[in-house]
Amino acid sequence: MSAADIYKIWSTDPFFDETTRNELLAIADNSTEIEDRFYKDLEFGTGGLRGIIGAGTNRINAYTVAKASAGLADYIVSNGEEAKERGVVICHDSRHFSPEFAQVAAQVFANAGIRVYLTDELRPVPMCSFSVRYFNAFAGVMITASHNPPKYNGYKVYGEDGGQVTEAAAAAILQNMEKYADVRTTKMADFDEALAAGTIKRFGPEVDIAYTDMLKELVIDAEAIKRQANISVVYTPLHGSGNKPVRRILKSIGLNNVYVVPQQELPDGAFPTVKTPNPEDPAALSMGIELAKKVGADLVFGTDPDSDRLGIAVRTKDGEYKALTGNQVGLMLLDYILDSKKKLGTLEDNSFACTTIVSTKLCKAVCEAYGVELQETLTGFKYIGERIKVDDEFGNKHFQFGFEESYGYLSGTSVRDKDAVVAAMLVCGMACQSQDMGETLIDRLYRIYNKYGYGFEQAVSFTREGKEGLEKIRNGMASMRAELEACKTAEDAAKLIGGPKPVAVRDYQKGIRYDFSEGTVKTSELTLPKSNVLLYELGGDKGLDWACARPSGTEPKLKIYFGVYDKDEKTAADRLESIKGQMSAFVENKLG
Residue type, position 473, single letter: I
Residue type, position 567, single letter: K
Nearest of 340, 304, 300 to residue 324 by alpha carbon = 300
C-alpha–C-alpha distance, residues 187 and 164, integer Å: 25
Edge-to-edge strand list for the sheet holding 351-356: 373-377, 351-356, 398-404, 408-410
List the catalytic residue out of 69, 129, 146, 414: 146
Is residue 146 among the annotated active site residues? Answer: yes
Burial class for 351, CB neighbours closer than 10 Å (0-12, 13-18, 19+)? buried
3-state secondary structure 369-400: HCCCEEEEECCCHHHHHHHHHHHHHCCCCEEE
- 387 Cβ partners below 8 Å, 6+ apart? 352, 354, 375, 377, 399, 402
C-alpha–C-alpha distance, residues 76 and 78, integer Å: 5
Expressed in angstroms, the distance from the first to the final Cα of the chain is: 31
C-alpha–C-alpha distance, residues 257 and 251, integer Å: 9
Residue type, position 202, single letter: R
Beta carbons of 417 and 319 less than 8 angstroms apart: no
Nearest of 463, 50, 94, 123 to residue 272 by alpha carbon = 94
- 412 Cβ partners below 8 Å, 6+ apart? 214, 215, 217, 218, 399, 422
Strands 48-52 and 232-236: what pairing?
A: unpaired
Kind plus residue range of the DSSP H or E element containing 410: strand 408-410
Nearest of 84, 82, 80, 138 to residue 109 by alpha carbon = 84
Q: Tell me which DSSP letter residue 124 carries.
A: -
Residue type, position 386, single letter: E
C-alpha–C-alpha distance, residues 244 and 304, integer Å: 13
Burial class for 330, CB neighbours closer than 10 Å (0-12, 13-18, 19+)? buried
Beta carbons of 522 and 515 less than 8 angstroms apart: yes
C-alpha–C-alpha distance, residues 220 and 198, integer Å: 41
With the C-alpha atoms ordered 536, 377, 43, 417, is the resulting torsion angle positive or negative? negative
Residue type, position 558, single letter: L
Kind plus residue range of the DSSP H or E element containing 20: helix 18-25
- 247 Cβ partners below 8 Å, 6+ apart? 235, 258, 260
Radius of gyration of the chain (CA): 24
Q: Tell me which DSSP letter residue 288 carries.
A: H
Residues labelled catalytic: 146
